[in-house]
């Protein structure tokens, strides 16, 4: 299997970074909302939405990393001795 181009690698790491930033921002916003206003009937819908965003981001990040690892494993050549 051919090596990935520099442009493809840059795109992969850019996307990985964006996913991490989404997870981090959703977590920080959720914590800030909780600290400032607490869990009330007014904040609960937003807290649930932020939690959903974080979970979807985490799932996408996990899938993305698994895909990279799988691609790496499949492209490694093993020789028998």
The count of residues in the chain is: 81
Query: Is the separation of the CB atoms in 26 and 57 below 8 Å?
Result: yes
CA distances from 23 to 15, 30, 52, 76, 79 (A): 13, 11, 10, 31, 40
Query: What's the pTM?
Result: 0.76
Distance, CA of 58 to CA of 24 (rounded, Å): 10
pLDDT band at 76 (very low <50, low <70, confident <90, very high): low
Only one residue has tokens 């981001």, namely 57
pLDDT tens-place string over residues 12-51: 889 999 999 999 999 999 999 999 999 999 999 999 999 9
């Amino acid at each position: 299997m051919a090596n990935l181009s520099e442009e493809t690698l840059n795109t992969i790491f850019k996307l990985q970074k964006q996913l991490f930033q989404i997870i981090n921002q959703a977590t920080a916003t959720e914590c800030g909302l909780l600290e400032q206003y607490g869990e009330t009937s007014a904040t609960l819908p937003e807290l649930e939405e932020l939690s959903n965003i974080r979970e979807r981001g985490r799932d996408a990040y996990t899938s993305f990393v698994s895909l990279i690892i799988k691609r790496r494993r499949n492209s490694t050549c093993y020789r028998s001795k």
